[in-house]
Amino acid sequence: MTRSLQNKPLAIINNLNVSFRNGKLENQVLFDVSLELFENEILAVVGESGSGKSVTSKALMGLLPVKNAIITAKELSVMGNDLQFLKGQDWSRFRGSVISMIFQEPMSSLNPTITCGHQVAEILEIHTKLSNKDIKTEVLRLFEKVKLPIPEQTFNKYPHEISGGQMQRVMIAMAIACKPKILIADELQQH
Ligand SMILES: Nc1ncnc2c1ncn2[C@@H]1O[C@H](COP(=O)(O)OP(=O)(O)OP(=O)(O)O)[C@@H](O)[C@H]1O
Ligand SMILES: [Mg+2]
């Protein structure tokens, strides 16, 4: 798609630098990263292990640790919102419905104490006004969409009771539940 024919980018990263503080030491891991993502566009970010793909994604999601991450950028914005000024509550509205991420590590991203169905249902409870019955129907529809076997059974299973590939499908269902404008897939495995 020709970019010049389009309007403003959905996401802009302009000269993003990220360092992690460890005591008195600072370790810079991103050096002037810039990218633009337009509507209806699939943008692939490629780089060797440790080069900063996940850190870049987490910066866009506001998920870098506030304690030790130092973030500077000429611009870091999603749909015209300057992410550097987004506060806690704004972030929870933003994440899920505007921008969402399928994380690299399913084991550490799913809550081991909550059934798969309820983890997806929670997101719909936060972001929609659907009734409990409609939420369950929607979760089952999402589970079918991501090709989870026997959605009714998966709904009541805990993450440790399903396979790694199935966990990743649950994460995909969570990420797409609120139809975000931007979906970040951090290293999707083929299962
Ligand atoms: N929370 C953190 N605290 C300190 N350093 C971190 C943190 N998160 C990431 N890093 C460091 O930032 C660098 C970039 O890591 P990142 O996870 O973005 O790499 P990646 O490109 O996603 O790699 P991979 O392909 O292996 O997933 C690495 O050196 C990593 O050790
Ligand atoms: Mg990574």
| pLDDT computed for residue 86 by the predictor | 87
Closest CA to 24 of 57, 62, 68: 68
- Which residue, judged by its Cα, is nearest atom 24 of ligand 1? 49
**pTM of the predicted model as reported, rounded to 2 decimal places:** 0.89
| Residues 154-164 pLDDT 10s | 999 999 999 99
Mean pLDDT of the chain: 92
- HSE value, Cβ hemisphere, 13 Å, CA-based, for 169: 23
Residue 169's alpha-carbon distances to 26, 120, 178, in angstroms, are 36, 11, 15
pLDDT of 25 above 70: yes
Ligand nearest 103 Cα, by number? Answer: 2
Q: Is the CB of 4 under 6 A from ligand 1?
A: no
Q: Is the CB of 52 under 6 A from ligand 1?
A: yes
| Residues 83-118 pLDDT 10s | 988 888 888 888 888 999 998 887 778 999 999 999
| pLDDT computed for residue 105 by the predictor | 81
